[in-house]
């Protein structure tokens, strides 16, 4: 496994990133709280719960770095910002696993099975790009700037 790497996210719209992080937090909270209800139905399955709750919590450091940089850029009135976040070796697999959990929870939210809002189309495009950048840069490829579909 890798010793870790620094993820470089180029030309990210800070308000879109903040909205995405907020939506991810909502999905995370709902799946986490639902698991506490012994009488409640298993909304997304144990594997999704473990990936979204357990693994996502193991990457809070990089997530908070992204949040801080996007917040500062938004507060400065920037339309785009370059963001970096370091993932140590122990955070790589949890990020990849959490991506799967997010996808499953977002799909459940889209079907109306969760109270949390699903990602918007723009957030989903950004999330997909972040995951692609993570995998590409982990493999040693250079970062590419965010370019929304149709834009």
- The pLDDT value given to residue 100: 85
In a domain, 148, yes or no: no
Q: Which of left, alpha, beta for 43 (phi over 0: left; psi -120 to 50: alpha)? A: alpha
- What confidence category does residue 21 fall into, taking pLDDT thresholds of 50, 70 and 90? very high
Average pLDDT, the chain: 88
- The pLDDT value given to residue 58: 78
In a domain, 48, yes or no: yes
Domains in the chain: how many in total? 1
pLDDT digits (tens, 9 = 90+) for 73-82: 999 999 999 9
Query: Which residue, 16, 51, 17, 20, is CA-closest to 119?
Result: 20
In a domain, 143, yes or no: no
Strands (E), the chain: 4-12, 81-88
CA angle 60, 148, 89 (to 5 degrees): 30
- What confidence category does residue 40 fall into, taking pLDDT thresholds of 50, 70 and 90? very low
Residue tagged 């999905």 (tokens): 27
pLDDT digits (tens, 9 = 90+) for 76-114: 999 999 999 999 998 898 888 888 888 988 998 999 988
In a domain, 149, yes or no: no
At 72, which helix (H) or strand (E)? helix 60-75
In a domain, 63, yes or no: yes
Contact status, residue 40 vs residue 115, Cβ threshold 8 Å: no
- What confidence category does residue 56 fall into, taking pLDDT thresholds of 50, 70 and 90? confident
Which residues constitute the domain of residue 9? Answer: 4-138
In a domain, 69, yes or no: yes
């Amino acid at each position: 496994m890798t010793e870790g790497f620094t993820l470089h996210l180029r030309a990210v719209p800070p308000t879109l990133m903040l909205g995405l992080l907020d939506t991810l937090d909502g999905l995370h909270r709902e799946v986490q709280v639902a698991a506490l209800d012994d009488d409640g139905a298993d909304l997304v399955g144990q594997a999704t719960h473990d990936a979204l709750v357990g693994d996502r919590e193991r990457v809070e450091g990089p997530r908070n770095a992204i949040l801080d940089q996007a917040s500062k850029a938004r507060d400065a009135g920037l339309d785009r910002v370059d963001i970096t976040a370091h993932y140590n070796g122990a955070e790589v697999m949890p990020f990849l696993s959490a991506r799967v959990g997010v996808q499953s929870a977002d799909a459940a939210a889209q079907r109306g099975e969760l109270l949390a809002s699903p990602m918007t189309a723009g957030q989903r495009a950004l999330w997909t790009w972040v995951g692609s950048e993570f995998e590409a840069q982990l493999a040693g490829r250079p970062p590419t700037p965010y370019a929304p579909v149709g834009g």
